[in-house]
Chains A and B, each alone.
Chain A
């Protein structure tokens, strides 16, 4: 069974701070996706990473896929209250089904 561990589980920071959160697995995934989910809504795709070592930037968000395609990190620069939400990573396995981590709950205080 493929498992994804996300850490930390909860994070509360002040506006303007930088942060890095992690998504780790003992399994190799063909691709990995990061989503953000607001309460009462579905996950919204942020990025898909495919190549080991790949780095993708989305404004103040930087995503990195590990060289061995087992782990990923998300770095947010100068966090803003609008970044508050649940961040989910998901790895693509056999038959394209996604294995999700439990998520990281981020709170950015004004």
Chain B
């Protein structure tokens, strides 16, 4: 059973470019979460999605950031017009839809974004 997959593992962008980060949840998981980890800081919640729905985006910056989880395909975290402060590790996690382990989230290896 493959774990949560994220790609690319490393992404370099120049200021003003767009960054697209992809996440495929574990098989059988329909809940996806995105977190950001800045240097010397803990992981911070960004957004919670289910298939075709954004459930909670309270941690997303108001501008330039968007996320989707389409009916088919991976979840995408999109950052437009990147700035140096967007440099961070972005982690995706998934959880089962039901059951006693519903609240347990399993993390992918992350995408390290570097903005030059």
Contact = CB atoms under 8 A, between A and B. Distances in A.
Interface stretch (B11-19, B41-49, B78-86): B41-49
Nearest to B108: A42
Interface residues of B, number: 30
Contacts of B52: none
A100 interface: yes
Contacts of A35: 107
B55 interface: yes
Contacts of A92: 103
Given A48-B103, A92-B103, A96-B48, A41 B110 contact: yes
Contacts of A103: 42
B107 A96 contact: no
B31 interface: yes
Contacts of A45: 104-107
Interface string A31-42: 101010000111
Contacts of A100: 35, 42-44
A92 B33 CA distance: 13
Interface string B75-116: 000000000000000010101000011111111111010000
Nearest to B33: A97
B56 A95 contact: yes
Interface in A27-80: 30-31, 33, 35, 40-45, 48, 50
A84 interface: no
A97 B42 contact: no
A33 B2 CA distance: 21
7 contacts: A33-B105, A35-B107, A42-B108, A45-B105, A97-B45, A97-B48, A100-B42
Interface of B: 4, 6, 31, 33, 35, 41-45, 48, 55-56, 58-59, 91, 93, 95, 100-110, 112
Interface of A: 30-31, 33, 35, 40-45, 48, 50, 88, 90, 92, 94-103
